[in-house]
Amino acid sequence: MTISFLESLSVPVFGLAKVVSFSSAKALPREDTPLIPNSPTLSSQSKTFANVFIAIVGAGVLGLPYAFKRTGWIMSLMMLFSVAGLTHYCMMLLIHTRRKLQSLSGEFAKINSFGDLGFTVCGSVGRFVVDVMIVLSQAGFCIGYLIFIGNTMANLFNASSPDSLTSQVIAFSMSAKSWYIWGCFPFQLGLSSVATLTHLAPLSIFADVVDLAAMGVVIVKDVFLMMENRPEVRAFGGLSVFFYGMGVAVYAFEGIGMVLPLESEMKERETFGKILGFSMGLISVIYGAFGVLGYFAFGNDTQDIITANLGPGLISLLVQLGLCVNLLFTFPLMMNPVYEIVERRFRGGRYSLWLRWLSVMLVTLVALTVPNFADFLSLVGSSVCCGLGFVLPALFHLLVFKEEMNWKGWTIDVGIVSLGLVLAVSGTWYALMEIFAIKA
């Protein structure tokens, strides 16, 4: 997941990943606050397309080439397009569910967020389940950011000079990755102490620009290296890596939290499904090209973070440093939904500095124990994103439409819920086995 951070901006601004909450300068944010504030000017089709595109495309794309290496490029493409289609279908299930509820009674007119929908359908239990999954997914994104920063900085400044005094001190005490992650810690405490994200909003624009620029640089370099090296690649990786690939694909398309607010903000709501479908199709093509070209350029040498394959050079250095700075400042934006939920549940919605600092500490400690960026993407995608993206939308749709659906509708909804649960359980188990095997 993603949200607008400045009400004064004419176009909503989005970060690198998927945020599912809004923070305003006028009042302390709450989870049930609309993701995008109401404004007299509704979004056009082009603006809605841009918002959907930026909301979904995130840092997870950098792990796709490694996933293509593990699962095979044809198998990966099949999974990628299948997940994109299923994600689009489940997003539309949320839209149809809200429209149905709003048509029943005026009391359902203010369903502004995923949590609102969960509360309307299942009461406090529904909101609690959505809250837990949002906390886990957003914290998971931030853990991935810290892993990326730690591994990238270690590759840039320690692998090239293993005999330096700094490297010897690091090797004597703790890993280079751990030093860089702990180096981020005081900055994250300071940034996360900001009660409102208004002053951090320009950083979201920077995140978008850097992310797209990095993808462009990597793709161009991949094309030249692919034509020059032509390494050996494989089309299918086997069933043993199926759940791994599915987890990465689900993570890459996770953006379910932005669907309801974006549809509400659109001027011509009847065309939202077409715009969303076109956006998902285009993103699928971009993801597929990025993964295939990255794998075809480096073959079996493809790293878990594709920027690690760029090699020495000023452009490579700037791209990797830019992404690290980008994620460093995106961290508090992605953690904001976590702060809102824990403050609402434990402090009645009031600002709590110690809860925020405790959350940052827990996220940092987890990041220190996970060695591989792409494997962690698979874990988050399997464990949480399958629940948010597949299980809950189909379940809520089934509960609301159960009286008027035929056997085909029941079969589809039950099938999606079952598939999501199978992918979540199996994918989580496989991802954990991979992570602990690498650590061992």
Confidence (pLDDT) at 115? 81
Q: Which residues fall within 8 angstroms of residue 132, CB to CB, at 6 or more apart?
A: none
Burial 174-200 (b: 16+ CB within 10 A, else e): ebbbbbbbeebeeebbebbeeebbbeb
* CA atoms within 13 Å, Cβ hemisphere of 302: 34
Closest to 67 measured CA to CA, from 54, 50, 80: 80
Can you say whether the dihedral through the CA atoms of 244, 249, 250, 254 is positive or negative? positive
Residue 5 CA to residue 7 CA, distance in Å, equals 7
Architecture of the domain made up of 45-439: Up-down Bundle (1.20)
In the numeric block, the tokens 């909503």 are attached to 12
Would you say 314 and 302 are in contact if contact means Cβ atoms under 8 Å apart?
no
User: What letter does residue 60 receive in the DSSP assignment?
Assistant: G
Query: Exposure string (b/e) for 87-102, b if CB count within 10 Å is 16 or more?
Result: bbbbbbbbbebbeebe
Residue 20 has pLDDT above 50, yes or no: no
Q: Name the pLDDT band for 158 (thresholds 50, 70, 90).
A: low
User: What CA–CA distance (Å, rounded) separates 366 from 112?
Assistant: 32
Count of CB atoms within 10 A of residue 167's CB? 17
Tell me the C-alpha to C-alpha distance, in Å, between residue 19 and each of 35, 133, 310, 378, 398.
Answer: 9, 12, 29, 19, 26
pLDDT (0 to 100) of residue 23: 37
Q: What pLDDT does residue 196 have?
A: 64
Q: Mark residue 348 as left, alpha or beta (left: phi above 0; alpha: psi -120 to 50; beta: remaining).
A: left
The single-letter DSSP state of residue 222 is: H
- Predicted confidence band of residue 8 (pLDDT cuts 50, 70, 90): very low
* Model confidence band, residue 109 (pLDDT cutoffs 50, 70, 90): low
Residue 398: its pLDDT value, please?
92
Q: Which pLDDT does position 113 carry in this prediction?
A: 75
- Which pLDDT value is given to residue 284? 92
Q: Which residues contact 357 (CB under 8 A, 6 or more apart)?
A: 189, 192, 193
Q: Which residue has better confidence, 154 or 208?
A: 154
Q: Which string of DSSP letters, residue by residue, matches 119-153? A: HHHHHHHHHHHHHHHHHHHHHHHHHHHHHHHHHHH
Q: What is the pLDDT of residue 9?
A: 34
For the chain, give the mean pLDDT: 77
Report pTM. Answer: 0.75
Nearest to 394 by CA among 177, 91, 144: 91
What was the pLDDT predicted at 438? 57
Summarize pLDDT for 247-267 with one digit per residue, the tens: 888 888 877 777 877 787 777
DSSP 300: G
Q: What is the pLDDT of residues 63-77, one digit of tens each?
A: 889 889 988 999 999
**Residue 197 pLDDT class (50, 70, 90 cuts):** low
Crossing angle of the two packed helices 176-192 and 353-369, in degrees rounded to 10: 160
Q: How confident is the model over 121-143, as pLDDT tens digits?
A: 888 888 899 888 888 888 888 88
pLDDT tens for residues 214-229? 778 888 888 888 888 7
